[in-house]
């Protein structure tokens, strides 16, 4: 048979779980409302865009400040472009010619094919 402390602890846990479920339900409802508002704003923007394409002047869409902030938050962050390193300076042509030597015969003269 459970003691009175155990019974009290169970009752307290039941109350905590009930509060937790209630708060989760409120959060779910709030998220659903926010999602519905965003979808409605999307439909209005789409309707305005289709009207512009059709050549009809649509009614102006006025966004409230929270809607503007939500649109900015949804936008993907822009990555900064990577800067390339400067290329190493190329050797001058004179230095390259000095490094390349023409073949010579044993006497130290230039090799002649004749």
Tens place of pLDDT for every residue, the chain, 114 residues? 789 999 999 999 999 999 999 999 999 999 999 999 999 999 999 998 998 888 876 566 677 777 777 776 666 566 677 777 777 777 766 555 556 666 555 565 655 555
pLDDT at 112: 59
Domain-wise residue ranges, the chain: 4-76
Q: How far apart are CA 65 and CA 72, in angstroms?
A: 11
| Residue written as token pair 């519905």 | 36
Contacts of residue 48, defined as CB under 8 A and 6 or more positions apart, other chains included, come to: 58, 59, 61
pLDDT at 60: 65
pLDDT at 96: 53
Contacts of residue 58, defined as CB under 8 A and 6 or more positions apart, other chains included, come to: 47, 48, 51, 52
């Amino acid at each position: 048979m459970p003691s009175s402390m155990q019974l009290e602890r169970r009752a307290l846990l039941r109350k905590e779980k009930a509060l937790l479920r209630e708060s989760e339900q409120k959060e779910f409802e709030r998220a659903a409302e926010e999602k519905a508002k965003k979808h409605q704003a999307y439909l209005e923007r789409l309707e305005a865009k289709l009207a512009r394409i059709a050549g009809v002047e649509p009614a102006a869409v006025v966004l409230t400040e929270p809607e503007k902030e939500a649109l900015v938050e949804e936008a993907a962050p822009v990555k900064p472009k990577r800067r390339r390193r400067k290329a190493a300076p190329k050797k001058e042509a004179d230095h390259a010619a000095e490094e390349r030597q023409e073949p010579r015969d044993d006497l130290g003269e230039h090799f002649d094919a004749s």
